[in-house]
Amino acid sequence: MSKWGKPTKNRKRIDPRYFINETTNRDLKEYATAEEQPLKSREPASVGYVLRSLQRQYNRGVHPSQRRGMPFRMGVDPIMDALMIDDVWPEDEEALQQMIDAGQPQSIEDLAPIVADWLTKYRQGEHSTEAGRASAMEKWR
């Protein structure tokens, strides 16, 4: 019973640490089914999100006055760090490097649409093939 007024219902909750795919409350309907893909994988990557992530990574630890006169350069690893992506297949890294080389970006603003396009295709699994993943697994073992 609450301090004043009506008694509160004793609601049994599911501990989310042990039931990852279920909802926290027992009476809510499960909206995601096994047949449907999650909505996040269908959405294209936003250029604004990628641009903000790349700017934070590019400006980390370096004063802007130190960058004057230096040509713009950002490799695959800092891009992956900016987007918080780990453990990608080698084909995915090669695809990103090829897209960067083909686009020849001169600034972060030029690089962001290229990376957003790569990220959308990466989320959809368009860069890596089954054979490439199998050969990478064999090299890893």
> Tens place of pLDDT for every residue, the chain, 141 residues?
556 777 666 666 666 666 666 555 555 455 445 454 544 555 778 899 999 988 888 877 666 666 676 667 788 888 888 888 888 888 999 999 999 999 989 888 999 999 999 999 888 888 888 888 888 888 877
Q: Where are the domains of the chain?
A: 39-140
Contact 1, 8 (CB under 8 A): yes
Give this prediction's pTM: 0.63
Measured CA to CA in angstroms, residue 111 lies from 3, 43, 65 at distances of 59, 20, 21
Q: If 0-12 CB within 10 Å is exposed, 13-18 middle and 19+ buried, where does residue 23 land?
A: middle
CA atoms within 13 A on the CB side of 126: 12
